[in-house]
Each structure stands twice: as structure tokens, then as C-alpha cells.
Amino acid sequence: MILDSQGAYSPGRIRQKPRRKRKFLYVAMMSADKFVDTRVKTAAQTWASSLKTWNKDSGVDVEIFAQSNYSGIPHHIVKMPGISDNVYPPQKKSFSMMRYVHDHKVNDYEWFLRLDDDAYVHIEHLESLLRRINSSDALYIGSPGFGRDNDDFVEDNMVYCMGGPGIVFSKITLQKLSPKLGECLKNNLMTEHEDIELGRCVYHHANVGCTKSYEMAALFKNNYNVEETDSEGLKPLFEEVAAHSATYHANKIQANQYALHNTVMLKKIQKLRQSASDLEKDVDRMRKEIFDNSPFKDRKFYKLPRDKSVVWQQITQGRHYSTDFISRGILQPWVNVVTELAREAAKTYYKENKLHGKIERIHVDRVYQTTSGSASEYLTMIDMKHIINGEESTVTAAFRAKRSFLSLMMQEPQKMQLEIINSAIVEKKDYNQKANPTAINFIIPLSGRSDSVRIFLDRLKVAALSHEIHINVKVVYFANDDHSTPEDEAKLKKMLEEVKNQYPNYLFEIHNAEGPFSRGKGLQIGAQTCENGELLFFCDIDMQFTVDFFHRLLENTKPGVAYYPIIFSQFDNKHVGDEPDNFKIAELRGFWREYGYGMVSLFKEDFDKAGGFDVKIIGWGMEDVYLASNVVSNNIRIMRTTEPKLVHVFHDKHCDPELSPSQLDSCEKTKFSHYGPAMYHFSVLKKLGQAATNELLGIKE
């Protein structure tokens, strides 16, 4: 009997039961008890945790299939009766899991994802893919597999989905497959690979093969380089996954799962910030149209200061040039920027010229970048090879892009809790309270220059000895060199003896070397006077330093780690006209010797492992490059930082014409580099005028 709204009988009237809305996706994660508190817990804390904030209306649920009573995750664990975690290959478990999904979930969801516990799901990319597909069709989606060899018994026209990166089933496919799973498990198994056998069952009984388009291998990413486990080495791959992939397999190490999730979240933040920036630009554009005559209309549209010099960075031929550093290779963030600019330039060119064709290749010739108060501006030069109307052609185009910064974000101040800060400090280091017991063995090769040695020893007293820094000085003296005299040698011995008497707990030694001066040979002789476990510091006597430098040297030099400080080298103040100040870091004072490897500290056993110096090199130069190359090739880590408290004090440099061509070239380049910065000399020549400049440079008009 059916009653109307007043409770009266209403014959022939049918009231339909409202249809239950199905959720979007059910994830069945196959695991084992031994992995629940590691891999599964990590998945719950990374990609699965983002489901709470991603799109609650979509409806995504995750359940774990394992024989476990673990309760430390927010997801339900399904324990299937009669199924063991310890049986391999897990074909029975896999088939039983799919049967369970059908029997208990098939009417509640649109899509079903079978997943390994060491996979990562980028839920936004997966949703973007599945929303464009009709879930009412019989579909079997994943990374296509074709079998490695004949032993996989993959039939003609059969394409299975590889299990690692995940397999997506539609409801229809699951309904066709489920009644036949038992039959496939009992009668049709031909290999130990559960994903191949599942695919064989789908192929025979659901009459559908895995998606085999080229894009599927990128969307369901499978990392075949299983030996690569370092998160730094995997960073380019993680960037690719964060940008394009729906799933990724495999992260068997927990740290890598967190690293990938961090990359995905950073990419999401970038997209949100870009979206916010685009919205701000839309608001500004509308404001300009509405209030076109407003005196404030240009307040938000900052322009580059055209009345001043604009500093541009340049990226070309795999190198990055900037005023902040000497040229270097392109770092990964800039690779992403250049790639995005190239794609945008190609799209803009096609749109502006109303073209329809196929782009074969885009070559980025160069990119210029500068920053104003509110935006980053780019000028991109590309060569594009494309096919239009069957004809191949190459075009060169320039494209200008602007990336506006977001407005300043406000943050409410929070009171800092002192106990939390103190608990986060693991170790407080106070160098003044406790001296490092490791001795620093200064090794200095010399020929003459006794006056410079006196200045060096005075600096050493102030910067190290008075602060109880344990110092040993080992001078290797070339008495037979043309620049040495008996008087110099006598002065040197007397000075070292005086300092030794003043500081009896420290070593001040002089060792003789035969033949003409050779820096490499001298340093090698000095190093051989030390034992394993001792710290060597190869240093020139023209260096100025403070106690802070010695603290950092002791902190940065470890067994297996060589410390190569990037020193600040002074210009000749007779050229640049600046007042001498040894620790003033300024453009007109000097430059960072990024390509200098003469100053290095390392332990004796690492020095021996690297093979020491090339003692056959006569004179100055190249011995430091030889050692540095061997340090790298012998897997000794290098610590390389700028050191503002280690300064090379300018002195006149003589380049012996008898040096080898490579040594002489290196010596002269170093000598000329100390005359001052190029921009300074340009300004001097500009003031002289063209005629005087030509005369000075010997250029005939």
C-alpha cells in the first residue's frame, strides 16, 4: 500500500528509492604484516594523508590487505581467511583480493585501483586522467607489459598491466573478471608473475587488454633502475613524477617515499602560487579596464628601471652566467624554467601565427632573465623544427615572458616557546670553551722570502697560537734554488727557533729539499713527515687568516673529507686605488678564486689514498689541480665553501719564462687577474677617451 502526502491511499503511484551515489575510487593496497609498520605507514603519512585535504567530495578510500593486527594507521586492514602473507608468488592473495573487492565494493565505487605497498599515488593526476574516461566501459588501465621473453607465455595481441605501478579496473571489467578468478587460479597459471596471470585472466574472460598508448608508461611510472636508491640521485625522476605521473613504483626505502611526497607538495605549492599570481593579474587587468583614468592605475604595474643599468642573467649552451657567480652548469630548477619557457614560446608562436602542425623539436638557443620589484622577466630565443601541411621547416623566434610575484603574505605573530627551541638544539658548540685537540700541520714550501716568513709567523701568533689552536709548522726549504741565499736560510732557521722557544708545545721544523724550487715536491716532502691520523694543511705564506677560519677548518675536515676553502684574493691596490684592508670583501678589493685548489686540508691517509702530488712538476702551478683530480677520482668527498677569513694578500708575482707552456699560461692568467675587475678597467679606459685608449692598447686608427 502506498500513501500520499496526506496519508491517503494512492493507487498506481510508485515512489522510487533514491539512487545511492557511488564514490570515485577504491584503492586496494596489497601488503604483508612485516611491511605494515614501514611501507604502509609511510604511504599513510605521505600520499594517502593528502586525501583528507585534496577533494573530500570525490570520495577516495584506501584499505590494506595483510594478515596484521597493526593499529597505527588510519586505514582499515582486511585480513582474508585462508590467505598467508608468506607465500610467494602471491598469486592466490592477489586473485582473492580482487574477488573480495568485487564482492564487497563493486557497487560503491566508479573505479578500483590495485596497488603495491611501495608505490606512490599522485591522486590529482590520477583523478584528472579518470574523470575524462567513461567508467561504464570495460577498461583495464595501467602501464602496459608485453613479456620479457617466451617463458612469460604472453600470447599474441595480449597486453597485461604491470602490477607495480598500479592497475585500474572499471566496474564492468571487475564484474566480468570476478566469476572467473577461481578458474584462472586453478587451471590457467603459466608463470610465477601474478600481474601477468591476472592480465591473462582479464584478456580471456573480460575480453579487454591493458591500455598500450605511449603516455601510459609515463602516467604509471615504473623505475627499472632498482640500484638507484639515493634520494638525491632520484631527484630528477621525482621531479618528472611530480609534474606528470599518476603513480610511481617503487619506493622500497621510506626516505625516498617522503622525498617524493615532498617534491609533489612543493610542485603543488608552486602551482597554487602561480594560480594566485594569475588571479592577481586578472584582477589588475580588470581594475585597469574599469578604472582606466584613475591616477593610481600604474601603481600595481611596476616597470623595469630603464633609466638605470638592468642586470640580466644568461643561460646558453648548457651554461648559466650570472653576476653572482662564475659560469656553471644549469641547476635543476632552472632546467624546469627553461623547459616551461620553451613550451610556452612554441604555443605562443603557433597561436599568434594561427598555425596547425606538428612540432618535431624545440632547441633553446638562449634565455635572458632579470628581476624587477614585482616580477621576473624572461627573453627566450628558440629554434623550432616543425611540420606544417606535410612540409618540414625550421623557424627562429624570440619570446618574452613575465612571471609576476605574489603580493606580500601576512602571517600572524606567534609566541615562541623557549622550551621547544631548547629541546630542538641537539648540541651547542662553543669553541672558546673547549679547544680542538687535533693539530693542524702547516706545510709550506719555500725558496728565499725570509721577510715574508716573519710576517706569516706574526699572523699565526695572533690568529692561532694565542687562541690555543694546536699548530705545527713544517717548512720545506729549497736551498739550492736561484732565489735562495745562505743568509735567507740562516734567518729562517733563527726565526723558527725563536718561535719554538716562545711556544715550546708546538712544532716548528725546517726540512731541506734538493734541486730547483717545485711546490709539488716541497709539499710532498712535508706531507711525508706526518703520520696517519694527522691533519695536513697546504698553505702559502701570503695568506691572512683569523681564528674563525681555523675553527671552520677543523670542523669541515674529516676522515674521508677534504676541505677546499674558496679564498678571497686581493687585487693590486696600486691599480684599483683602494685602501688596504685585509678582510674587506668588496668588488674593488678582490675576487673569489673559485677555480683555485692550492689551499687544502685533509688527513694524511686521504692524501696517500689520492696518490699525493706529482713531484715531476718543476716550478709553480698545476700540482694542485693534479691532487684535486685524484681526490675526486678516489671517492674522497670535497667540502667547498667561500672562506671570508682566509685572504690571499696581494704580492708581485714573477712568472718564469722557463716554465712549461701550460704552467706559464696558468701563471700569467693568475698574475693578470689581480690587476682589478674588468668593469673597473673599462671605466678607466672610458674616461681616457677613444684616442688615448687606442694609443695605450697599441691600436692604430
Domain boundaries, the chain: 23-213, 313-404, 440-683
CATH number at 440-683 = 3.90.550.10
Mean pLDDT over residues 455-479, rounded?
Answer: 89
Q: Residue 71 is placed in which grid cell?
A: 593499529
For 74-99, how does the pLDDT look when each residue is reduced to its tens digit (9 = 90+)? 999 999 988 888 888 888 999 999 99
pLDDT confidence band for 356 (50 / 70 / 90): confident
Average pLDDT, the chain: 82
Higher pLDDT: 337 or 603? It is 603
CATH tag for 313-404 (out of 3.10.450, 3.10.110, 3.40.50, 2.60.120): 3.10.450
pLDDT in tens, 136-181: 999 999 999 888 777 778 888 899 999 989 999 999 999 999 999 9
What is the tens place of the pLDDT at every residue in 298-308? 444 344 444 45
The yes-or-no answer to whether 23-213 and 440-683 have a common fold is yes
H/E segment holding residue 378 = strand 375-388
Q: How confident is the model at residue 260 (pLDDT cuts 50, 70, 90)?
A: very high
pLDDT at residue number 390? 78
Residue 26 DSSP label: E
User: In which band, very low, low, confident or very high, does the pLDDT at 467 lie, cut at 50, 70 and 90?
Assistant: confident
Q: Which of 26, 177, 18, 175 shows the shortest CA–CA distance to 109?
A: 26
pLDDT higher than 80, residue 435: no
248-262, 396-410, 442-456: which has the minimum mean pLDDT?
A: 396-410
**Does domain 23-213 sit in CATH 3.90.550.50?**
yes
Share of the chain above pLDDT 90, in %: 32
The overall pTM is greater than 0.85: no
Q: What is the pLDDT of residues 686-696, one digit of tens each?
A: 777 766 656 65
pLDDT value of residue 440? 94
In degrees and rounded to multiples of 5, residue 570 shows phi and psi of -75, 145
Q: Are 96 and 80 in contact (CB under 8 A)?
A: yes
CA atoms within 13 A of residue 88's CA, in its CB half-sphere: 3
Residue 31, pLDDT > 90, answer: yes
pLDDT-derived band at 432, boundaries 50, 70, 90: very low
Q: Which residue has the cell 669553541?
A: 431
What is the grid cell recorded at 199? Answer: 592480465
pLDDT at 278: 78
Which residues are CB-contacts of 115 (< 8 A; sequence separation ≥ 6)? Answer: 27, 28, 29, 30, 121, 166, 247
pLDDT for 417 beyond 70: no
